[in-house]
Amino acid sequence: MVDATRFPYEGLGRCEAVVSDGIVYAVATDPQGSDGILAQTQNALDELNRILEKAGSGRAGLLQATVYLSDVKQKPEMDTVWIDWIGPEENWPQRACIGVDLDEGCLVEIVVTAKVI
- Domains of the chain plus CATH, in order, are 5-115 (3.30.1330.40)
Q: What is the pLDDT of residues 14-31, one digit of tens each?
A: 889 999 999 999 999 999
Does the pTM surpass 0.85? The reply is yes
Q: How far is CA 89 from the centre of its chain?
A: 18
Task: Identify which of 36, 7, 3 has the alpha carbon closest to the alpha carbon of residue 108.
Answer: 36
User: How far apart, in whole angstroms, are the C-alpha atoms of residue 49 and residue 57?
Assistant: 9
CB of 65 within 8 A of CB of 106? no
Half-sphere exposure of 8 (CA within 13 A, CB side): 3
Q: pLDDT per residue over 38-84, tens digit each?
A: 999 999 999 999 999 999 999 999 999 999 999 999 999 999 999 99
Burial of 101 (0-12, 13-18, 19+ CB in 10 A): exposed
